[in-house]
Amino acid sequence: MRSKEIVQCFTKISNTRLATALKSVKSSSEILRQSFVVLMICAFTDILAGISLGGMNELLLLLPGLIVIIPGAIGMRGNNFASMGSRLATKMHSGEIDASAITKIQKTPLIIDNIYASFAQTFNMSLLLAVLAYLIGRSLGFQMIPLSHLIFISIIGGLISGVILMVSTIYISIESFKRGWDPDNITTPLITALGDIITIPSIFLAALLSIHLKNYNAIASIILILIGIFLLYYGFRRENSREILVQTLPTFIVCAVFTTTSGLILGYKMDEVVIYTAILMLVPSFNETGGNLGSIFAARLSSSLYTGIEEKKLGVLPSWETIKSFFPFFILSLCIFPALALILNLVSINMGFSSPGFFNIFYLCMVGGAMITFISLLMSYFFTSFSWKMGLDPDNVVIPLLTSVMDVVGISCLMISMNLVGI
């Protein structure tokens, strides 16, 4: 009789383990299925962003110091609207936002408050980026265009891209949820990729406008600053947007420092990077791909915490179960970075861009990609764990911090990989 009970006990344990394994496989399959295509689209769009950056060579020479704000501008657009997408996803998962709200946004206070908060962030963080870039750049001896010109370009470029990204974020978040997809797997990488494509041309247009209105940049900059202050004041008067701003603005200030550092590294190493246009084109991809992988993991972990699934497993160090959840992201990385090298090589050949050759680009992507993925996932876990234990909403904090840190990590990994590969 006892032996029968023991057999039944082992059977239950085996069934439980099998069920857990199947659940894990299903979860990994879901991540790979939903995120792979999205991340590949993002990789391709990052190449397009790189082509745009490579096409700005003459303008970057004409407006010295402009290169310093570009990584920050790209990063802050992604921080702002990917964070917004993560918040909307969490609210839809918890039932606070009805997926049909896309047709009645004006009657959904949570969406309206997110709009106010995001535009206040766009204006004021663009201003901060310009001021930081100018002050730090000048202190390091960089040749810089006048501050008023930099402020004008930064804010106008942010406004142009911000309007497009605002509409896209709301639409993608709600439509993906309505179609039965998990917005956490889709919204963040799509929005950051879209931000890459839109931000660089937006800065390009703003820079051309600045040149055309060179005698009026100071006046225009003052008006834009006043608009930003008004949006900030009005945002603080609304309860939900105030909560978002209180939690995100300190984070975004830290992010601005990181992304400015990224721009300064790029500016300092500009002579080495521009030898090969193909490597310059890698800058958006290296910055964004690692951030995308980590952001998907962070958004999923955040939703799990709010639904009570992961809270008991959240420790100082990631548990074995959490580490195993890294596995599908490494698979994604092993698929994305070789494809990135192939696409980049084909683009370079067809467009006549200078390149160190396919195998050097391939090794560069593989070495840098492995470093970026590992660092991104670890940072994602630590940021989420820390913010949750501090009583902060991870949706407001983690993605902005992560993507900003990954800007510095991405460019640093690119430089390290270049040295390792011997380029």
Written as tens digits, the pLDDT of the chain (423 aa) is 444 443 344 333 334 333 333 343 445 566 566 667 777 777 777 777 777 777 776 777 778 778 888 877 877 776 778 778 777 777 776 666 766 655 566 566 777 777 888 888 888 888 988 998 888 888 887 788 888 899 999 999 989 988 888 888 888 877 777 777 767 666 766 777 787 788 888 988 998 898 888 778 889 889 988 988 888 888 787 777 777 888 777 877 877 887 787 777 777 766 666 677 777 778 777 777 777 788 778 777 777 776 665 555 566 677 677 777 778 788 888 888 888 888 888 888 887 777 788 888 888 888 888 888 888 888 888 888 877 777 777 766 777 778 778 878 888 888 888 888 777
Torsion sign (Cα): 374, 375, 377, 381? positive
11 assigned to some structural domain: no
Q: What integer pLDDT is reported at residue 35 of this predicted model?
A: 67
- Residue 395 vs residues 91, 228, 264, 422: alpha-carbon distances, Å: 10, 23, 28, 40
377 assigned to some structural domain: yes
Counting the structural domains of the chain, the total is 1
- Residue 380 vs residues 230, 236, 293, 301, 313: alpha-carbon distances, Å: 33, 28, 9, 9, 15
Tokens of 72: 């920050």
- Contact criterion met (CB below 8 Å) for 329 and 296: yes
- Residue 133 vs residues 130, 201, 288, 395: alpha-carbon distances, Å: 5, 19, 21, 27
| DSSP notation for 396-415 | HHHHHHHHHHHHHHHHHHHH
**How many CB atoms neighbour CB 359 within 10 A?**
11
Q: What are the residues whose beta carbons fall under 8 Å from the beta carbon of 144, sequence distance 6 or more? A: 64, 65, 68, 133, 134, 137, 138, 150
61 assigned to some structural domain: yes
Torsion sign (Cα): 321, 324, 329, 333? positive
Tokens of 5: 């009970």
4 assigned to some structural domain: no
Q: Which domain holds residue 351?
A: 28-421
- Contact criterion met (CB below 8 Å) for 217 and 198: no
CA-closest candidate to residue 128, choices 215, 224, 214: 224
Q: What integer pLDDT is reported at residue 316 of this predicted model?
A: 65
Q: What integer pLDDT is reported at residue 26 of this predicted model?
A: 45
291 assigned to some structural domain: yes
8 assigned to some structural domain: no
9 assigned to some structural domain: no
23 assigned to some structural domain: no
What is the spatial distance between Cα 367 and Cα 244, in angstroms, rounded to a whole number? 37
- Contact criterion met (CB below 8 Å) for 50 and 282: yes
Map tokens 């501008």 to a residue.
73
What are the start-end ranges of the H helices in 307-326? 320-324
pTM: 0.69
Q: What integer pLDDT is reported at residue 393 of this predicted model?
A: 72
